[in-house]
Every structure is written in structure tokens, then in C-alpha cells.
Copies of this chain bind each other. A is one copy, B any other.
Amino acid sequence: MTLKIVISGFGTVGQGVAEVLERKQDFIKRRFHRQVRIVAAFDSRSLAHDDGGLDPELLLERKSSSGMVGDPRPSDMCRFLRETEFDVLVEVSPTNIETGGDGLLFIREALNKGAHVITVNKGPLALHFRELNDLAKKKKVQLRFEGAVGGAMPIINLCKENFMGERILTIQGILNGTCNFILSRMDKGLPFGQALKEAQELGYAESDPSYDIDGIDSASKVAILANAVFDRDVTFSDVSVTGITAITEDAIALAGDQNMVIRLIGEVSPDKLEVAPRLIPKGHPLSLSGTLNMAQINTDLAGPITISGRGAGRIETASAIFSDLVAILEAERQ
């Protein structure tokens, strides 16, 4: 039985997903005795569609040579999703943290027709989690989003599945690799502006870096963790946010004198929703340097568990999406 996939968004992550599906065909056949086929892939301008299945390599080639994944697309992609037969929507279009953007519409459309959804799109999850989660339950399909928080670091499934029997008390984490890179460089004496410039040159920060350095990205992840792990009903705007732009060289030096570093920490608990720079003792797990993401999960039985991994990257984020796909295949097998 073939599992039909639509990929909405064919940027870095969407392309990574196509590559991973190609690399893992054999594993899927061996483990689940099923075929996974991409029946459609689209970006903001173009669409490739073949009900018999598209060749991932050809999709990647076409995108790389022409900037488009297929032919010019219809403007109403919701209608396309409504009229096309598929089992799983992989929603990885650009995020919009103010409205949820097109991704929100695509996710709603897919869930409504009874398809599973895997997404790393933070806007829809940080703004409309409860609605989307309830819709998925009602339609008896899965809404999965492991890659939306921490990239390859499996924090969502760790909390919801491995620690299903634990009461999770708090999660504290470094949820944005760009900010952590900048703060790590400032530890070495660089002023903020120079550290930011370095991050931009290395491709860690966007030319408009405000989404990262103002703490917005971290805050949307905090909102998602609150909804998904603590069963709260919050949106992005409920999070108390302070970014890293006001951190001075003096503050970093003073922290260093006390054997501390400054890190941008997101914290979620049943009654807390915060992103703020904090003093962290050197040697503490949250004093991590570099671009990794890291989280410390405090539970009633297991005590503190920390996990870290690459928070971004084409194949790393696709790996989180693939783990969600494997979970869907595993559940359908039973």
C-alpha cells in the first residue's frame, strides 16, 4: 500500500525532505512493507504533481537549475489540496508568526480532509495550536511537529512519548542557535555588532536578524512546548520576551568575573512562559557554547534530563520530519 505525500514549501527543508525520502526508501520497504511516494511538491510559484509519484532527484535538480520545483502553480493551493488524493502533508513553507500565513490554511485543509500533517512551521503552531490539535483528534489523524522545536533534537516526542508517565515540571532550554552563537562569540570578547556580523557571514543569521535576536523565534518555540507538552492553550503573544540586543560587552565581562556566562533561555512550566537572557554558571548544561540547541527537562521521577542536538540544517530538520513519518507508519502498522 502506497503512502502518498505532498510537500508544501520546497526551500531548504522541503528539499532536505525529498532527499531523505529518497535515501530511506529501502528502510521503509524493509520495515513497513510500504512505498512512500511524493505525489506533489510546491513552492510559492510552482507545482509538480503526479499521482503515480514524482522522482525526488528530478525535483531537486529542477529546483536547483530553475529555482522552481515544477510548472507555474494555481493561485488557490487550498483547492488543489482539497481535490488531490494524499495521506500526509509535509508543511514546510516559510513561517509567518503574525498570521500563521499560507501554512495555516494548508494544514487546516489537509486535516479537514483526513490527512496526517507533519510540520516544522512555527507560526500555525504558536498561534492556533489548540484548534489544529482538536481538528486532528476529531479527524482521527496525526498532527506531528518534532522539527518545530530544536531541529534534530527530539524534544517533543521525548516529552510526549518516552516521558508519557512522568509529570514534567519545567523545560528550560537554548532554543535558538543563532543567539547562542552570538553570545558564545561575545564570551570571547567580541562586541554584539561584530558577533552578529560574523553570524551573518557564516549563514547562521538572516540579513534581517530580528526574528532571532529579538527572541521571537525562541518565544514561538516556548509557546509550542507549552501547548504540546503542558497541554496549555497559549499563543506566541502570551510569552514574556526579552532578546539579546541590549547585552553589552561589560555585562558579559562582569558575568565572566563571576565564572558565569549569559545565555538566552526559554522556560516553560505550568505557570511560566518566558524568554530572557540569564546568568548561567560555567559548567552547567545550559552554559553550552556554539550553535547547538539544548534543553533540560525536569520531571517528577526521572529528575533532570538534558538533551542537545543541531537546531537547524537541511538534513537535520528533515531527519525530525522523517522521525514523525516513521511514527505515523508505525502507528498504521498496528
Contact = CB atoms under 8 A, between A and B. Distances in A.
Interface of A: 20, 24, 27, 31, 152-154, 157-158, 161-166, 283, 285, 289, 299, 301-310, 313, 315-316, 318-320, 322-323, 325-326, 330-331, 334
Given A165-B322, A305-B154, A307-B307, A289 B299 contact: no
Contacts of A320: 302
Contacts of A330: 164
A152 B305 CA distance: 8
A304 B153 CA distance: 9
Give the number of times this chain occurs in the complex, counting copies.
2
Nearest to A306: B308
Contacts of A289: 283
Contacts of A157: 162
A138 to B, nearest CB: 20
A165 to B, nearest CB: 4
A301 B334 CA distance: 26
Nearest to A146: B162
B165 A162 contact: no
A306 B309 contact: yes
A307 B310 contact: no
B309 A304 contact: yes
Given A154-B158, A158-B154, A158-B158, A165 B302 contact: no
A154 B161 CA distance: 11
15 contacts: A24-B165, A154-B158, A157-B162, A161-B161, A161-B162, A162-B323, A164-B326, A283-B289, A299-B319, A301-B315, A301-B318, A302-B320, A303-B309, A306-B309, A331-B334
**A152, A299, A303, A334 — which one has the most chain B CB atoms within 10 A of its CB?**
A303
B301 A319 contact: yes
Contact of A306 (B307, B318, B326, B331): B307
Contacts of A310: 302-304
Given A157-B162, A164-B330, A302-B310, 18 more contacts: A152-B301, A152-B305, A154-B158, A154-B162, A154-B163, A158-B162, A162-B323, A163-B323, A164-B323, A165-B319, A166-B323, A301-B322, A302-B309, A302-B316, A302-B319, A304-B309, A305-B309, A307-B307
A158 B334 CA distance: 20
Contact of A316 (B163, B301, B319): B301
A281 to B, nearest CB: 12
Contacts of A304: 309-310
A174 to B, nearest CB: 13
Contacts of A166: 319, 323
Contacts of A315: 301, 303
Contacts of A319: 165-166, 299, 301-303
Nearest to A165: B326
